[in-house]
Amino acid sequence: MKPVKVGICGLGTVGGGTLNVLKRNAEEITRRAGRGIEIAQIAIRSPKPQYDTTGITMTSDVFELVNNPEIDIVIELIGGYTLAKELVLKAIENGKHVVTANKALIAVHGNEIFAKAREKGVIVAFEAAVAGGIPVIKAIREGLSANRINWLAGIINGTGNFILTEMREKGRAFEDVLKEAQALGYAEADPTFDVEGIDAAHKLTILASIAFGIPLQFDKAYTEGITKLTTADVNYAEALGYRIKHLGVARRTEAGIELRVHPTLIPADRLIANVNGVMNAVMVNGDAVGSTLYYGAGAGMEPTASAVVADLVDVVRALTTDPTNRVPHLAFQPDSLSDHPILSIEECESAYYLRIQAKDHPGVLAQVASILSERGINIESIMQKEVEEQDGLVPMILVTHRVVEARIIEAIAAMEALDGVTSPVMRLRVEQLN
Nearest in space to 353 (alpha carbons), one of 255, 257, 269, 230: 230
Alpha carbon distances (Å) from 138 to 109, 122, 127, 329, 401: 20, 18, 7, 10, 35
Cβ–Cβ < 8 Å for 270, 431:
no
13 is in an annotated binding site: yes
Q: What is the DSSP letter of 390?
A: B
296 is in an annotated binding site: no
103 is in an annotated binding site: yes
14 is in an annotated binding site: yes
Alpha-carbon gap, residue 249 to 153, rounded angstroms: 4
Q: What Rg do the C-alpha atoms of the chain give, in angstroms?
A: 24
How many angstroms separate the first and last alpha carbons of the chain?
A: 49
The H or E element spanning position 428 is: strand 421-430
Alpha-carbon gap, residue 83 to 97, rounded angstroms: 17
Q: What does 311-363 look like in DSSP terms, one character per residue?
A: HHHHHHHHTTS-GGGSPPTTSS-GGG---PPBPPGGG-EEEEEEEEEEES-TT
- Label residues 110-128 b or e (16+ Cβ within 10 Å = b): bbebbeebbebebbbbbbb
In the annotation, is 245 catalytic? no
15 is in an annotated binding site: yes
> Which of the following is catalytic: 85, 96, 138, 203?
203
- Cα angle, residue 279 at apex, residues 274 and 283 outer, rounded to 5°: 65
Tell me the β-bridge partners of 149: 286
16 is in an annotated binding site: yes
Nearest in space to 80 (alpha carbons), one of 95, 66, 62: 62
Give backbone dihedrals phi and psi of 405, rounded to 5 degrees, phi first: -60, -35
Alpha-carbon gap, residue 397 to 213, rounded angstroms: 39
17 is in an annotated binding site: no
Q: Is 276 exposed, middle or buried (0-12, 13-18, 19+ CB in 10 A)?
A: middle
**Residues with Cβ < 8 Å from 41, sequence gap 6 or more?**
7, 8, 56, 57, 58, 59, 64, 65, 68, 70, 71
- Cα angle, residue 208 at apex, residues 203 and 209 outer, rounded to 5°: 100
9 is in an annotated binding site: yes
Q: Which residues are annotated as a binding site?
A: 9-16, 103, 188
Residues labelled as active-site residues: 203
Q: Which residues are annotated as a binding site for NADP(+)?
A: 9-16
Q: Which residues are annotated as a binding site for NADPH?
A: 103
